[in-house]
Structure 1
Amino acid sequence: MANHLETHQAWLTQFYTQRDWYQYSPLIRLNFLSEEVGELSRAIRTIELGRDHPGEAVQSTDTKYDNLKEELADCFDQLLIICSKYQIEPSELSQYSEHKLTERFKNK
């Protein structure tokens, strides 16, 4: 799994570089991530609470979940680009998380 993440990160970095999108600083990337998190919030709200917005068509469950996956992927990609900017491999994050949580809650 870690290899797949790093392969995707390398592909994504190349894709962004070819389109002159990689040039943006981590601070600007953070703003892009914030925008994507807002879109993710809307996708989750639509699934959990529905939408009551005039002019919007009712979406099927499949469409709602497809949108959820799209927004999760957009957030994920922004995180991978930020990692790339700081030369952090994605597998380091999962290892860091597991270690931190294990240490924090080992006596609980």
Structure 2
Amino acid sequence: MITEAEKWTKEFYQKRGWSEYGPFIRIGFLMEEAGELARAVRAYEIGRDRPDETKRTAGELKRELVEEMGDVMGNLIMLAGMYDVSLEDMMEAHRKKLTERFKGETS
């Protein structure tokens, strides 16, 4: 089952010509966005302590964090689509792997 997020992302990326990039380019974009997400997490959690950057409010930092998460997800959706994998399939495989790996442990 394709989610609304997957459908919107694929359509938007197609309109922009971004769906033409192959898996090696797409993984590069994913890694770039993951780095930007790491920077946003750091800024949100401990700040950046840079005199050349203006201080931002907690709301602004949170908005940037959420936007960067979306950028990571968009690239992951596109990469998954190249291999005919839905977000639902991905998360089911993830759940199954972890459940099996840690079976017998109590939470």
**Is the structural similarity TM-score above 0.5?**
yes
* Cα separation, 2, equivalents of 1:40 and 1:33: 10
- Offset from partner CA, 1:28-82 (integer Å, 9 cap, x none): 0100011101110111111111111122111100000000000001001100000
Secondary structure of the equivalent of 2:9?
helix
Identity of aligned residues (%): 36
For 2:61, the equivalent position in structure 1 comes to 64
For 1:107, the equivalent position in structure 2 comes to 104
For 1:26, the equivalent position in structure 2 comes to 23
Matches within 5 A, 1:29-68: 29-68=26-65
The letter of the residue matching 1:83 is: A
Instruction: Give unpaired runs (5+ residues) of structure 1.
Output: none
* Cα separation, 1, equivalents of 2:43 and 2:5: 29
Instruction: Give unpaired runs (5+ residues) of structure 2.
Output: none
Secondary structure of the equivalent of 2:61?
helix
Secondary structure of the equivalent of 1:22?
helix
User: Which of 6, 19, 25 is 1:9 aligned to?
Assistant: 6
1:9 shift after superposition: 1.1
* Cα separation, 1, equivalents of 2:78 and 2:51: 36
Stretches of 4+ aligned residues off by more than 2 angstroms = none
For 2:82, the equivalent position in structure 1 comes to 85
Q: Normalising by structure 2, report the TM-score.
A: 0.91
Secondary structure of the equivalent of 1:16?
helix
Aligned residues: 105
